[in-house]
Amino acid sequence: MAELLAREGATVYAGDVLDADDAESSPVTFLRLDVTLADSWQQAVDRVVSEAGRLDILVNNAGIIDYTPILETTEEIWERVHGVDSKGLFLGMRTALPHLIATGNSSIVNISSIWGLAGVPSAHAYQAAKGSILNMSRNVAAAHGRDGVRVNSIHPGYIVSPMTENQDPAISQSIVDGTLLGRPGQPEEVANAVLFLASDEASYITGTSLVIDGGFLSL
């Protein structure tokens, strides 16, 4: 996502808790960001605005997954998953919004999941967190549309990524088997949707949810 936006001419800052291996050769500026901490978000946004002069786009993509069913979900699991997947997104929008409003023509793209739209017998904390993204996005779209801020959510299916590469192969295969296209998605296929929703080509799209799942939810 970050590299595609940079290739299209955006000045991109990517936040993570880890140091990027390819930081020196990348067109993206990397900064340390713990999405679960308000102070970390404030420092990150302040740096972006200070160096770039403004903030036009926020993409909330941080996420972790846990497949524990509800009867085995501890408070620790719940708080860890929601800290990243739900609270982190809330803090990001709250911190960035004053600057996005000041821009007057801005976009927030929040990455949810197909499990934010459909039921699954496990992954209780993850599904609850991803479901919250849908309505948080709609809430901010409703609250700040007149301020020129568009907010949309993306709901990917099984995408080949660091988050999914170590999960049980049987889980991955069951999702692939349920897609109309019969294959996993690639990161670039989600990135293209992010680029569209962040761009002026999507200037009349807000408060909506875009599913990118190879047709999984169509069955």
Cα 57 to its chain centre, rounded Å, is: 12
| From 67, 126, 158, 204, the catalytic residue | 126
Q: Is domain 36-218 annotated with CATH 3.40.50.720?
A: yes
Report d(CA 187, CA 107) in Å as an integer: 20
Q: Give me the residue spans of the domains in the chain.
A: 36-218
Q: Would you call 126 a catalytic residue per the annotation? A: yes
**pLDDT at position 171:** 85
The residues, ordered by sequence, that sit 6+ positions from 19 with a Cβ below 8 Å of its Cβ are 30, 32
Helix (H, G, I), strand (E, B) or coil at 31: strand
Q: How far apart are CA 150 and CA 197, in angstroms?
A: 9
Report pLDDT digits (tens) over 2-21: 999 999 999 999 998 666 66
pTM: 0.94
* Residue range 121-144, pLDDT digits in tens: 999 999 999 999 999 999 999 999
